[in-house]
C-alpha cells in the first residue's frame, strides 16, 4: 500500500524504488506536478532512444527532455560538465519557460 501522505512525485519514486510493475508507474508519472528534466544520451545502447523518449514524451508531456550528443546510457559519466550545467540551470529556474531561453539549441 502506498502511504496516503505522499505527494504524487514522491509516489512515483516510491513505486520505482520498489520495482512495482511499470504499468503502475506509467499511471503515476502523469500525476507529477513538479518540473521534470530528463537527460538522455543519444547513443544509449541499453535502451532504444527513439522508443523510450517517445514514451516519456507521452507519459510526461510537461517534462523537459534533453538529448546529449556523444553520450550513452551513463550520460552523467560521458558528458559530466554539460549534465552539471543543465542541472544547475534547470534547478535555478523558477518558471518552466526559462530553460528554453538558456538552451534553445536543446529544444
Cell of 81: 560538465
Is the entire prediction scored with pTM above 0.85? no
Q: Are residues 81 and 69 in the same domain?
A: yes
Pair (17, 56) in one structural domain:
no
One domain, residues 28 and 72: no
Cα–Cα dist 65/107, whole Å: 8
Q: Which domain holds residue 21?
A: 1-33
Per-residue pLDDT tens digits for 80-107: 999 999 998 888 885 555 656 656 665 5
> What pLDDT does 68 receive?
95
11-60 pLDDT, tens digit per residue, is 666 666 666 667 777 888 888 877 889 999 999 988 888 998 999 999 99
Which among 15, 34, 8, 47 is positioned nearest to 90, based on CA atoms? Answer: 34
For residues 69 and 21, membership in a common domain is answered with: no
Q: How many domains does the chain have?
A: 2
Same domain, 27 and 68: no
53 and 12 in a common domain: no
Same domain, 10 and 29: yes
Amino acid at each position: 500500500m502506498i502511504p496516503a501522505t505522499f505527494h504524487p512525485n514522491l509516489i512515483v519514486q516510491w513505486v520505482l524504488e520498489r520495482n512495482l510493475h511499470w504499468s503502475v508507474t506509467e499511471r503515476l508519472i502523469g500525476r507529477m506536478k513538479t518540473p521534470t528534466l530528463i537527460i538522455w544520451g543519444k547513443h544509449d545502447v541499453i535502451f532504444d532512444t527513439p522508443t523510450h523518449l517517445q514514451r516519456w514524451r507521452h507519459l510526461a508531456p510537461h517534462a523537459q527532455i534533453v538529448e546529449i550528443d556523444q553520450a550513452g546510457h551513463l550520460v552523467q559519466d560521458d558528458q559530466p560538465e554539460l549534465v552539471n550545467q543543465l542541472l544547475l540551470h534547470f534547478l535555478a529556474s523558477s518558471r518552466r519557460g526559462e530553460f528554453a531561453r538558456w538552451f534553445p539549441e536543446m529544444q
